[in-house]
Amino acid sequence: MAEEITDFDFAASLQSDEAIAIFLSDAFETGDANHIAAALEIAIRAKGEARIASRAEIPENGYDLDNPTLATMLAVMKALGVGFSPMPVRAAS
């Protein structure tokens, strides 16, 4: 008998603000804008799109995470319960 294989939904596993913060922190460490945008979309789904849009005071699905404004990013991050924490990066040698 063959086992059924299902897709893993990361959003379902992000059940706390701390889990979301760690997940997003890991994404930001990559420095890859596409990866960060995908991680933000997953975090938004974990919290509920309508809830995040309301908290960020933007229309539901009214944000473009492929090319967001800084204001939108800050509003979405705040609505997710996380923030930016700038830190030094090592220069490439």
Mean pLDDT by 10 residues, the chain (93 residues): 85 92 93 90 91 83 73 89 82 63
What is residue 62's predicted lDDT score, i.e. its pLDDT? 64
What pLDDT score does 58 carry?
80
Task: Supply the pLDDT for residue 60.
Answer: 66
CA 92 to chain centre: 27
User: Residue 92 has what pLDDT?
Assistant: 61
Would you tell me how many other CB atoms lie within 10 Å of the CB of residue 88? 5
Overall pTM surpassing 0.75 (yes/no): yes
Residue 88 neighbours by CB under 8 Å, 6+ apart: none
